[in-house]
Amino acid sequence: MLGAFFCMSPCRPSRLRAFSTVMRIKQSMKILGMLGVLMPIVANAAVIYENPWDNGVGGTWTSGGFVISDAGAFSQTDQRLASEFVLASTARVDRATWYGTMFSPDPLNTGNTWNFDVSFFSDDAGLPGTLLSSRSVVASATDTGIDVAGERSYLFDVSFAGVDLNAGSPYWFSVQNTGSQNTFRWTAATSGLTTAIAMNTDPWRVLTDEGRTPVNFALDQTADVPEPATLALLGIGLLGIGAARRK
């Protein structure tokens, strides 16, 4: 490339300017290349579906003339729950959060308490159908400081390999505690679609227990985006290329 600009006799000013412009552009491109290598990536999670948690203000039933607050139905080795949902837009779901209780003296320091199977099903006539994806995960747990029906509530948070789901199609989301305590209860939401329950190997059926349905959860789609500072540096580099071309 340099040979194309080598002059045996004094070069014309226009030829020197062209050579200088090319060198500036090459230098700017090297800088942009370095920025691309060094560009930090941050993960932004967007909530794409949510059944809001009922922290105890609702979720009650009447039995024998008494109003009884309920911590939710169990979802564990001998019984599991699933909730119907429909996405507004096509997405790759790779994170889920939900609230539930765990009856234990100190569940934050108890072995495999937070092991879960997180599963997605297709819909089959208003009940969970074909299993689309199932992940065995260890959830992070945050103590909410709130007791529901005398049991401490925790926020569970898990990330997993993305599951591609279409907009407008009914799906079912299930979390099943696989820990050895068998005391996890999935608390209710203030709004949502149908909840289903399956006992042991029995088929799915609609859960109709008042105060236990619908169950709460949120689904996220995580997208990688450059940090704002990096984008600013990239913009400066592009401006440098533009200035070099104008000279």
Residue 195 belongs to a domain: yes
Nearest partner of 16 among 5, 25, 24, judged by Cα: 5
- Same domain membership, residue 213 and residue 154: yes
pLDDT in tens, the chain (247 residues): 444 444 555 555 555 455 555 556 566 555 545 545 444 544 567 999 999 998 865 444 444 433 346 888 999 888 999 999 999 999 999 999 999 998 776 667 667 778 999 999 999 999 999 999 999 999 999 999 888 888 888 999 999 999 999 999 999 999 999 987 778 999 999 999 999 999 988 999 999 987 789 999 999 998 654 455 555 555 555 555 555 455 5
**According to the model, what pLDDT value does residue 55 have?**
81
> Residue 30 is part of which domain span?
16-40+227-246
What's the gap between Cα 164 and its chain centre?
12
- Same domain membership, residue 205 and residue 155: yes
**According to the model, what pLDDT value does residue 114 have?**
87
Mention every residue, 6+ apart, whose C-beta is less than 8 A from residue 65. Answer: none
Torsion of CA 145, 150, 152, 158, to 10 degrees: -120
Residue 59 belongs to a domain: yes
- Same domain membership, residue 158 and residue 231: no
**According to the model, what pLDDT value does residue 48 have?**
96
**According to the model, what pLDDT value does residue 151 have?**
84
**According to the model, what pLDDT value does residue 24 have?**
61
Chain segment 75-118, per-residue pLDDT in tens? 988 899 999 999 999 999 999 999 999 877 666 766 777 899 99
Q: What angle do CA 135, 136, 139 make, to 5 degrees?
A: 110
- Same domain membership, residue 52 and residue 27: no
Between CA 207 and CA 194 the distance in angstroms is 8
Q: How many domains does the chain have?
A: 2
**According to the model, what pLDDT value does residue 169 have?**
97
- Same domain membership, residue 107 and residue 26: no
pTM: 0.71
